[in-house]
Structure 1
Amino acid sequence: MALYPVSASSSSTLLILLCFFTSSLLLCNAFQHHHHPRVARHNYRDALTKSILFFEGQRSGRLPSNQRMTWRRDSGLSDGAAMHVDLVGGYYDAGDNVKFGFPMAFTTTMLSWSVIEFGGLMKGELQHAKEAIRWATDYLLKATVHPDTIYVQVGEANQDHACWERPEDMDTPRSVFKIDRNTPGSDVAAETAAALAAASVVFRRSDPTYSKLLVRRAIRVFQFADRYRGAYSNGLRKYVCPFYCSYSGYQDELLWGAAWLHKATRNPTFLSYIQVNGQTLGADDSDNTFGWDNKHVGARILLSKAFLLQRVQSLHDYKGHADNFICSLIPGTPFSQAQYTPGGLLFKMSDSNMQYVTSTSFLLVTYAKYLTSAHKVVNCGGTIITPKRLRVIAKKQVDYLLGDNPLKMSYMVGYGPRYPQRIHHRGSSLPSIAKHPAKIQCSAGFNIMHSQSPNPNILVGAVVGGPDQHDRFPDQRSDFEQSEPSTYTNAPLVGALTYLAHSFGQL
């Protein structure tokens, strides 16, 4: 949906003409005050195109004829066979060859949310974004085909990590791990429900049959998540930890899943569920980290929309909870908690910090959109924070990512003149099948992994973990904390880049 009834450029032109012909001081001031700078330092549209293209480099399964990342080939074609279920497809989460269902579902939810909020502005990229979502949802439908069961992982992570090989050469065990009534996993189940529900909104008009299938499955999966409660990393600890352990518990996912089902179905049952269970599920917890593990902040922002725009009065408190998150980000306010590097980057943790930069930037532009529509602001202990201020903060974070930083380096591969050359990614770092058709054995790839040579295959659009708290980035393949890309880092960036590209007249 568009943010403005007329395009920024046409409204600006109108103001310029009226200002010129009437010499009205009021109109001229209005132009100066509201006019977006039309020249951006960055090509957000180019970055948007690349941020979506990245997902093609992460595909598992049989690749389609329109595959653009051509150095990749088919892989994981027998996935699921160990359990007599078809689990071919989906995404590798990062630089290895395991399919982890928890981050894959979160990635799908965030890609879908990006399209729900900003898809109307995406122009030619909308179709590619939808294809990226569908690649995931087709897989999630396979993973949830049996009632009260979800196949949540394909691949034995420790054995996979003992090899450095292309996904096309995989010979490590493709073990399948599942949750069910006896081994519950409310976190991954409710996140999967959120992903299916959010995607159902994306496809509601373009493919209503598929959309209905997604929402029906989402409801069934959520009921399973809620009825059989427990964290999936309890029963599957030795397989999913420390990779994607559920550190924040499963309460945040139940609230998040219910919020998405409320949005997708408009069924009062889910609103009632949120009203009854919100407090016990941690709606007002003060955690301010949003990512694949903790969904509280995202749920607050999403539910605040229902209050701000649909006037659902019973969700009034979520506006306050969302405001608390915003205030935690603003330096100088009484509630400020966020840390920033000397160069200005939001810094949450040393391992894959950029995922929090992209998710926070998305929430900032999205909440700014809701506040603008409702003519509201955020009050941080007497300091008034406008939607414009939120957009400025988000833009600064995205600009840092794209090259406005002390190293003058883009942290998106393939964007700008200088970007990471040695990312921690097996397929990107080893010669492609086209260049080297012979199999590369499990341990043979480590020579290349530890070398200083640049990756031969450019994983265009990949956003790496990013610099440390002092803005340093060594660009070493072995440094997975800083040099590994991930699907859940890129997914929210798609929405933020769409907004910025649109605001600067690039879309």
Structure 2
Amino acid sequence: MGECKWDYREALSKAILFFEGQRSGKLPANQRIEWRRDSGLSDGASAHVDLTGGYHDAGDNVKFGFPMAFTTTMLSWSVLEFGGFMGSDLSNAKTAIRWATDYLLKATSHPGTIYVQVGDPNNDHKCWERPEDMDTARTAYKIDSQNPGSDVAAETAAALAAASLVFRKTDPSYSKRLIHASMMVFDFSDKHRGSYINALKSAVCPFYCSYSGYQDELLWGAAWLHKATKNAEYLNYIQANGQSLGADESDNIFGWFNKNVGTRVLLSKEFLVDKVQSLQEFKSLADKYVCAILPRSKYTPGGLLYLLPEVNLQYVTSASFLLLTYAKYLSSSKQLVSCGEVTVTPHKIRAIARSQVDYILGSNPLEMSYMVGYGSKYPQRIHHRGSSLPSVAQHPQAIGCIPGFQFLNSNASNPNLLVGAVVGGPDANDHFPDDRHDYQHSEPTTYINAPLLGSLAYLAHSTHS
């Protein structure tokens, strides 16, 4: 791919570091984002369970299980596809995964019950507080057989299965725990079908409503379990349920609420590389996705893939990862993609993905990086409580719910650098206001960063190999 002015290796290190800023729970001695302190140490106590740990998904203090599980799946997939290119960053990437899976194991350790959220989001969003000062209700929300949640449960199963592959060689006993939990959770999600918004609507909507239903997660979870176990039971499930669970739908958004495109690419490998002939349709469905990404109408004037107005960069990072991963599968099987009369090579697919990562790092009309702490110009006023409030070291006294809003409303730059955080990004015209109130564009999330790890690892390797 040749030389590039962007240092992908530095960006990768920082993208991983971001997850340390999102940690909840008791922080380890080697915590590198030092302005953070312990938080949420009594999470789960109200339900007499231990739900400490895990991640805040974005700039608030709730632990939403649905995006946390998706983040974990994508961190794991990043490592599985491109971990060999991560060098010294691989151990930190695995640590980021384990911080999540340790929590997900706790959340799924009670038979017939899965804890899917900690914190009342309606109260949390009425406050602007550091995680260390939280005094809003840390309600523990759960699903069970009477109140099912196949979407969040099957995504959790996918996360545990994907992570089991990450740790299979380095920590086989932990890997076995993960796969056992994954199988139990998937069985529960399939047996007790329903969306978690029916049981928990006021707690999960409009924050993380399951907009695409739960069918896509069931197929995604089965795909990951098949990849992790090679058990024919899961392959049979995919073959029997693929159509009814939406495999052939033509949506082209991949993110925390819609897994269809990801499933297509994941299962295309089974056909392309492992020669499972019964999964040939997933190759043609993945081809359709590539063709749908190509039209110029999908991009901003400055060249950014623009799919949805809110937090658009989450769809850019996930699309870039899928394109690089699919290009890898195509290359290894010497296949191409046909979009009508246009033939698309793996090289062309990689070039599209790289252009998107480059845009995020600074190849854009504003010449700014959308990753905090990377480059000379990046967002200064991100929508993030811990970053925008004085740190505990600087201001040891608690800052209450309402007094904290003075920091949300300030025009000053955030005092604490959340290094590696990628924000929601610019609008359809490549404009970015850098306004703390504008959460659609200025809030970072774990699921923006998670798939970016794989892309950055690949690009760091390909530009120097």
Question: TM exceeds 0.5?
Answer: yes
Matched, 1:443 2:398: no
Counterpart pick for 1:320 among 276, 279, 284: 284
- Residue number in structure 2 paired with 1:350: 309
Q: Separation in 1 of the partners of 2:5 and 2:291?
A: 28
Matched, 1:107 2:71: yes
- Deviation of 1:382 (Å): 2.0
Counterpart pick for 2:382 among 423, 436, 442: 423
Matched, 1:154 2:89: no
Q: Structure 1: state its 5+ residue gaps.
A: 1-35, 333-337
Q: Residues 329-478 of structure 1 correspond to what in structure 2 (within 5 A)?
A: 329-331=293-295, 339-478=298-437
SS at match of 1:136: helix
SS at match of 1:152: strand
Q: Separation in 2 of the partners of 1:216 and 1:47?
A: 35
Greater than 4 Å deviation, 4+ residue runs: none
Amino acid at match of 1:72: R
Q: Which has the larger radius of gyration?
A: 1
Q: Separation in 2 of the partners of 1:430 and 1:62?
A: 20
- Residue number in structure 1 paired with 2:254: 290
Amino acid at match of 1:453: A
Amino acid at match of 2:393: A
Q: Separation in 2 of the partners of 1:254 and 1:234?
A: 17
SS at match of 1:319: helix
Matched, 1:124 2:88: yes
Q: Residues 244-263 of structure 1 correspond to what in structure 2 (within 5 A)?
A: 244-263=208-227
Matched, 1:490 2:454: no
- Deviation of 1:303 (Å): 0.2
TM-score (norm 1): 0.91
Q: Separation in 2 of the partners of 1:276 and 1:148?
A: 26
Aligned-residue sequence identity (percent) comes to 67
Q: Separation in 1 of the partners of 2:194 and 2:348?
A: 40
Q: Separation in 2 of the partners of 1:382 and 1:492?
A: 31
Q: Separation in 1 of the partners of 2:112 and 2:425?
A: 39
Deviation track 1:4-35 (CA, whole Å, cap 9, x = no partner) reads xxxxxxxxxxxxxxxxxxxxxxxxxxxxxxxx
Counterpart pick for 2:22 among 31, 55, 58: 58
SS at match of 2:228: helix
Q: Separation in 1 of the partners of 2:74 and 2:426?
A: 23
Q: How many equivalent pairs are there?
A: 465
- Residue number in structure 2 paired with 1:27: none
Amino acid at match of 1:289: I
SS at match of 1:347: coil
Matched, 1:227 2:186: no
- Residue number in structure 2 paired with 1:41: 5
- Deviation of 1:493 (Å): 0.2
Superposition CA RMSD, Å:
0.7
SS at match of 1:351: coil
Q: Separation in 2 of the partners of 1:148 and 1:117?
A: 33
Deviation track 1:55-89 (CA, whole Å, cap 9, x = no partner) reads 00000000001100000000000000010000000
- Residue number in structure 2 paired with 1:67: 31
SS at match of 2:87: coil
Amino acid at match of 1:430: L
Deviation track 1:33-53 (CA, whole Å, cap 9, x = no partner) reads xxx31x211000000000000
- Deviation of 1:487 (Å): 0.2
SS at match of 2:221: helix
